[in-house]
Amino acid sequence: MEEDKFGFAHEDDIAEVVERFERMKKNNENYFFDVSEFEAIIDFYLDTNNSSKAYDAADSAVHQHPHSVSIQLRQARVLLDRGRAVETLKILKRLESIEPGNYEIYLTKGTALGMLGDVNGARKMFDQALSVDNEETENILYTITSILQNLNYYDQMIVYMKKLIELEPDFFSHFYDLAYAYEKVGDMGNAVKYYELYLHEEPFSDSAWYNLGIIHNKLSNFKEALVAYDYSLAINPQNTFALFNKANILSNEDRFGEALEIYLEYLDLEPDSSEAMTYVGECYEKTGKFELAKRYFQDAIEISPESPDPWFGMGVIAFTQGSYNDAVMIFGKCTRLDEQNPEYYHMLARSLFAAGRTKDSLRSLKKALKADPFFDDAWIDMGSIIFESGAITKVLKYMIKAQKIVGDVPGLNYLLAASYLSSDKLNEALGAFKLAFDIDAELFEDFSNLFPQEKITEEMKSLINHI
């Protein structure tokens, strides 16, 4: 029968010695345990995340075996597990002078320094661990990469992981770990490369396909992301994260019918997800099925009444159906639930304007722009409302300011052109018109009613006739 590293032939033997230790503590008695037994007890508690009992075991072990390096080393690890890195370093400094060739001391010291934020110091200790033992290089490297991953030092992890892959090229899980590290440091190109290398050898890993999908999504490679999510779901149809992300891509591409099917499939697995209910409602709203949309928005509100998103969906339907006063009430609630979302103020402003409350609409647009000065649609709506009120000079003031903030947005330039034209500033009008026309000629139709027909120049007419 194969024994483990402590000389125990079976897990039952470890359970028995742990039970005997717990009986000793419970009865407040004093039993003898040899070093290997205490090692097994402490490691058992550390492996099962029982920090309190690991501490008690280490304390008892040090009292019975005060000169054992392996016991003191475990005491250091227990203290480290409890976040007491400074105390750990004091113990390790003493042990280092006793056993300078013990690589475990340097690994633990490196972990402590890493926890204290001394990354360079940690790397020196890890390199020291590698230098004192040539026979355990692979195990040491694997431990180092695990430590650095747990500490979120992914840049440093990559260096050691590459060394590990050189020594163990057939351990394909290393490719997965390296891809994940590259993903964490934002090197998406290498992340894709190593996920694909891993998947070439392990094609049935739904988590790797899923992670690859996330990266392609971040890179705006939506077609590749959908393929990756499909592979993930083919392997594991209940991967709810892949379902949700796939549906989001389809929805963002205006493929609402396809997205709806996936969201509903997700809801079968996560029936209490108010977020998914909201997205189902949005898909129905986008396809004009307002009653179904309302049902899902209302269900989402029942689960999460303080979430503004389903309320916003209800407001969009009210606005679309011409119930402007209802829309004002609903979007007003959205702004109270989230005072920093410019889109809520923008839709509230549009509803207020449609309800004939022009001054309130302008106030709401100002709040939208306070939340997001780069919100060009809010600037355009503000300019259009002011223009229609006849305050052309004021429009010019706001649009020039907006242009300095958001740049050459076609809608702003069309408003500027109409305002300049109304003020008989023909050269300025033509310049703004050409800028807008070069970027988006077809958008002119949305602003054509603002242009005084009798003042449109021949050059403008020539451009318009080419639409």
| pLDDT (mean) for 68-74 | 89
**Is 453 inside a domain boundary?**
yes
Evaluate if residue 382 carries a pLDDT over 50. Answer: yes
Evaluate if residue 11 carries a pLDDT over 70. Answer: no
Evaluate if residue 220 carries a pLDDT over 70. Answer: yes
Task: Output 80 or 224, whichever has higher pLDDT.
Answer: 224
Note the pLDDT of residue 10.
54
Which of 431, 432, 424 lies closest to 454, judged by CA? 424
Note the pLDDT of residue 1.
31
Note the pLDDT of residue 12.
61
Q: What's the maximum distance between 2 C-alpha atoms anywhere in the chain?
A: 105
Which of 232, 242, 235, 298 lies closest to 270, judged by CA? 242
Among left, alpha and beta (phi > 0; psi -120 to 50; other), residue 271 is alpha
Note the pLDDT of residue 147.
94
Q: In which domain, by residue range, is 406 found?
A: 391-467
Task: Output 214 or 72, whichever has higher pLDDT.
Answer: 214
Confidence at 239, pLDDT banded by 50, 70, 90: very high
Distant-in-sequence, close-in-space partners of 269: CB < 8 Å, separation ≥ 6: 238, 240, 243
pLDDT 10s digits, 80-119 = 888 899 989 999 988 988 988 899 999 999 999 999 999 9
pLDDT 10s digits, 349-369 = 999 999 999 999 999 999 999
Lowest mean pLDDT among 164-168, 271-275, 434-438: 434-438
**Is 257 inside a domain boundary?**
no
- Judge whether 73 and 108 are in contact, CB under 8 Å: yes
Confidence at 27, pLDDT banded by 50, 70, 90: confident
Distant-in-sequence, close-in-space partners of 407: CB < 8 Å, separation ≥ 6: none
Task: Output 327 or 392, whichever has higher pLDDT.
Answer: 327
Evaluate if residue 380 carries a pLDDT over 80. Answer: yes
Note the pLDDT of residue 228.
97
Which range has the top average pLDDT, 338-347, 401-410, 446-455? 338-347
Note the pLDDT of residue 217.
96
- Judge whether 33 and 65 are in contact, CB under 8 Å: no
Note the pLDDT of residue 107.
93
**Is 195 inside a domain boundary?**
no
| Euclidean distance between CA atoms 253 and 255, whole angstroms | 5
Task: Output 19 or 281, whichever has higher pLDDT.
Answer: 281
**Is 62 inside a domain boundary?**
no
**Is 447 inside a domain boundary?**
yes
Evaluate if residue 4 carries a pLDDT over 50. Answer: no
**Is 87 inside a domain boundary?**
no
Task: Output 55 or 342, whichever has higher pLDDT.
Answer: 342
Note the pLDDT of residue 447.
86
**Is 405 inside a domain boundary?**
yes
| Euclidean distance between CA atoms 215 and 198, whole angstroms | 15
Task: Output 416 or 277, whichever has higher pLDDT.
Answer: 277
When divided into structural domains, the chain yields a total of 1
**Is 464 inside a domain boundary?**
yes
* pLDDT over 70, % of the chain: 97
- Return the axis-axis angle of helices 137-150 and 103-115, rounded to nearest 10°: 10
Q: How many CA atoms lie within 13 A of 20 on its CB side?
A: 14
| pLDDT (mean) for 5-20 | 68
Evaluate if residue 273 carries a pLDDT over 90. Answer: yes
What is the residue-averaged pLDDT of the chain? 91
| Euclidean distance between CA atoms 353 and 355, whole angstroms | 5
| Euclidean distance between CA atoms 374 and 405, whole angstroms | 6
Note the pLDDT of residue 330.
97
**CA 150 from chain center: how many Å?**
18
Torsion of CA 348, 353, 359, 361, to 10 degrees: 20
Confidence at 387, pLDDT banded by 50, 70, 90: confident
Tokens at 408, concatenated: 């050459």
pLDDT 10s digits, 280-317 = 999 999 999 999 999 999 999 999 999 999 999 999 99
